[in-house]
Amino acid sequence: MKYYCPTHGDLLCGDCIVKNNHTCKMEVIADVSKGYGNSTEFKQHEVKLNTITDKISKTKHDIDLTAVSIDEAKKQSVKQVRKFQAELINTINKMSDEVTTDIEAKAQTTHAILSNLKTTSKTGELEVHSMTNVIKNCKGNDVLLFIATHRTKDIAKNVSNKIDEVENALERVPTYKFSENVQTKALLQNSAGIGHYKQTLPSGAHTGKHGKLN
């Protein structure tokens, strides 16, 4: 490189000038470069290079800060997800316990009703068995049979009425069946999931003008 074209800013050799038919006025580099180390152009260029170097250094620093910010956001988000997960599980467990307790209480009440009905039925069965034995022992003696029959008529009627009451009560014994909550089931089937990891700001907004976290 021996020549410099001030018009285009090109550095050229003799062959390039001849081959490309340059018509611009050329300057000899050896002449125009004298004292160039102290020239304004060189000093401005040197300042520019230093500025670019500082800019690169700041950019690298900002990249590192952004990486730290992203990792911190990831850490906090995972923590939030786990916390929300625990809250959901605890809430579901609490609701499940409430329903289970209600099921047990209703079942216990129903069994108490059935137990009373069964006791009444058993008492009626014993009374009928007793009357049957009395009648059986009086057979062959019409007088005793007549007396026994009339004495047990009211008892038999009372027993029959009690059994009717037991049958009616049995028909009214409540039965239960678990039914899933429609809203809760829809939440479980929601394809949107429990949340999203969304972008809030451009990555550059995480750092300030001087590379400090805001």
**Is 162's pLDDT higher than 90?**
yes
Q: In which band, very low, low, confident or very high, does the pLDDT at 214 lie, cut at 50, 70 and 90?
A: very low
**Is 207's pLDDT higher than 70?**
no
Own/partner pairs, 125-134, CB within 8 angstroms, 24+ separation: 127/155, 127/159, 128/156, 128/159, 131/155, 131/156
Q: What is the pTM of this model?
A: 0.61
Q: Of 24, 23, 32, which Cα lies nearest the Cα of 1?
A: 32
SS (H, E, C) 119-139: HHHHHHHHHHHHHHHHHHHHC
Q: Of 57, 21, 104, 29, which Cα lies nearest the Cα of 211?
A: 57
Query: What mean pLDDT, rounded, does the chain reach?
Result: 89
Ranges 25-39, 57-71, 110-124, 127-141: which has the least confidence = 25-39
Output the CA torsion sign for 35, 38, 44, 45: positive
Q: Of 18, 35, 24, 45, which Cα lies nearest the Cα of 10?
A: 24
Q: Whole-angstrom Cα distance, residue 202 to residue 205?
A: 5
Q: In which band, very low, low, confident or very high, does the pLDDT at 24 lie, cut at 50, 70 and 90?
A: confident
| pLDDT score at 42 | 92
Q: In which band, very low, low, confident or very high, does the pLDDT at 204 lie, cut at 50, 70 and 90?
A: low
Cα 35 off chain centre by: 72
Q: Which two tokens stand for residue 182?
A: 């429609």
